[in-house]
A and B are shown apart, each in its own frame.
Chain A
Amino acid sequence: DAGITQSPRYKITETGRQVTLMCHQTWSHSYMFWYRQDLGHGLRLIYYSAAADITDKGEVPDGYVVSRSKTENFPLTLESATRSQTSVYFCASSPGLAGYNEQFFGPGTRLTVL
């Protein structure tokens, strides 16, 4: 199906475990983003990517790793999960073209770290 998908939609893990959240888009958009949303903080940018093999830090990158070997995929890895990383994670993509660069968001992944 066309669009942007995230998997898993729900994940429970334990402190110290490695977790990878997947994001896949079918539009061949250049830009992809990872946000987290916590109560009282709104959405905060974790990492973003302008193209395959190009990534950059956002507002809250500590504890996260990203990669982008293919344009359509942008996985987010928590190398050693902590309770403070319990959150809802949203992936987004954007064409990145002048005049046409709104972001399209996925449905989110609700992550609980015990």
Chain B
Amino acid sequence: DAKTTQPTSMDCAEGRAANLPCNHSTISGNEYVYWYRQIHSQGPQYIIHGLKNNETNEMASLIITEDRKSSTLILPHATLRDTAVYYCIVRIIQGAQKLVFGQGTRLTINP
């Protein structure tokens, strides 16, 4: 699985959009970008995933650059409950199903 690089920490004001970047310059053609988050003391929670098209669900939007070497997770109206560690993971969609977690980005939403 391709390696990802994320900022260690970020801050965002409540009600504003939180944009979390992820670099994955060695991504292969059959690898997807997945985002999970972990709120303090809880198990990780799936947010969204995509291959090359932008994706949106009820939680977030995922913007993947045309060359697929980077992506941005967007939380459109961040709330205090979105304070968590966010993990960007790149992996193939078939196969052993394993997830390799990096250190993630610690996002703090400020009132």
Contact = CB atoms under 8 A, between A and B. Distances in A.
Interface of A: 31, 33, 35, 42-45, 48, 50, 56, 58-59, 90, 92, 94, 96, 98-99, 101-108
B97 A101 contact: yes
Contact of A48 (B42, B44, B93, B98): B98
A108 B42 contact: yes
7 contacts: A35-B101, A56-B96, A98-B94, A102-B46, A103-B99, A105-B43, A108-B41
B86 interface: no
Overall SS of chain A's interface: strand
A43 B96 contact: no
Interface size class of B (residues with CB under 8 A): 20 to 34
Given A101-B97, A102-B46, A42 B103 contact: yes
Interface of B: 34, 36, 41-46, 49, 93-94, 96-104
Contacts of B43: 90, 92, 105-108
Nearest to A92: B43
Contacts of A101: 93, 97
B44 A105 contact: yes
Nearest to B85: A42
Given A45-B99, A90-B44, A102 B94 contact: no
Contact of A45 (B41, B42, B98): B98
A102 B36 CA distance: 9
Contacts of A45: 98-100
